[in-house]
Amino acid sequence: MKQPILFTRYPGLQGKVSWTSLGRFPTPVHPLKNIGHGNLWIKRDDETSEIYGGNKVRKLEFIIGEVKSRQKKRIVTFGGIGTNHGLATAIYSSRHNLACTLLLFKQPLTGHVKENLLLFHKFGAEMKYKNSLWNTVISYFLTERLHYGGAYFLFAGGSNFTGTIGYVNAAFELKKQVDEGLIPEPESIICPQGSNGTLAGLSLGLQLARMNTRAIGVRVAAPRLGPFPASTKGAVHDLMSRTYRYLRKICPEIPKIRIRSPEIMDGYLGQGYGHKTESGDRARRLMEDTEGIRLDQVYTAKAFAGTLDYCTSLTNMNQPVLFWNTYNSVDMSAHAASVDAQDLPEEFYPFFGEN
């Protein structure tokens, strides 16, 4: 069991920041040789675990560590009916004897969404359908806290400052791979930006690791939830700042820095969260046909479409660009096939054409 590289760099964090080993790190980096964009690389966070991979594993290592240290018995979180974060939370909660409650809102129905609904049940999650995003958020912040007062409430995407530490650590992991000559220092890292934690953690981590690399998020979720900022530069900066203050408070050896403004690419969201786009679909097919790597329509396909456009816009095509793949590459179809849709709560029957 390897401890986080962040603990090696800042020993004062060890024993003060809770952590539980869930994944296999470092994840590989390698060039994308068949895409046609020169110096384009990929970070394979789709391979964070042979159980269920993707970016949530890095976050959950710190989140579940904190849940256990606080002696909580249940995690309550929320997302769309196809939430990958919700699935990862259900899977790793079940492996650590924690109850998991998922508050779910409607998103475009696809085969992947239906598979995840079956998998939520497979891994023992309590599923509550709230219909709209607004109703889900109200339930998360108000009603469910009355119902589950002693639970650990986890923001969508695992994007609290505890989860964000997972991607601060990931930046130091990349720095080590650069130092070992496995990849040239990237000019930019491009990743999906939805609930902000991945972009916030990478952006902060790159600064602390003293790398010149820029982190750029491709927006894949609505910037605002009614009057409240959600997927915005301000929200990302706030999460970076809160994470940094927490780390520095418990470990003064972390240097003083001025948090830089995060970078976000627009124009790839399409009709909204969960809706596929033509550019995303082209990017998804290109990646799968030429490199044999799967992307998803909600997050990584849109982010890779932005990556391809970004590479085309570079004046120096030899500048290395790193696409950070946050998707899960583990095939979960056999697990899903073992679940009967009628075993789900009745409010989910309509998604399977059942009355």
Domain residue ranges in the chain:
5-54+160-325, 58-158
Query: Quick one: pLDDT at residue 285?
Result: 98
What are the average pLDDT values for consecutive 10-residue runs of the chain, which has 355 residues? 90 96 97 92 98 98 98 97 97 98 97 97 98 94 94 95 98 98 98 97 98 97 81 96 97 96 96 95 98 96 97 86 97 97 97 81
Distance, CA of 343 to CA of 346 (rounded, Å): 8
Nearest to 77 by CA among 96, 55, 97, 93: 93
Identify the three-state secondary structure at position 61. Answer: helix
Please check whether the two domains, 5-54+160-325 and 58-158, share a CATH topology: yes
CATH code of the domain made up of 5-54+160-325: 3.40.50.1100
CATH code of the domain made up of 58-158: 3.40.50.1100
Query: Quick one: pLDDT at residue 355?
Result: 56
User: Torsions phi, psi of 269, nearest 5?
Assistant: -70, -35
8 Å CB contact between 304 and 289: no
Q: Which residues, in sequence order, are CB contacts of 146 under 8 Å at separation 6+?
A: none
8 Å CB contact between 43 and 27: yes
Q: Which sign does the torsion angle of CA 178, 266, 295, 153 carry? A: positive
Query: Quick one: pLDDT at residue 354?
Result: 66
Query: Quick one: pLDDT at residue 1?
Result: 58
Residue 130, token pair as written in the block: 């709230």
pTM over 0.75: yes
Please identify which residue in the block is written with the tokens 């964070």: 48
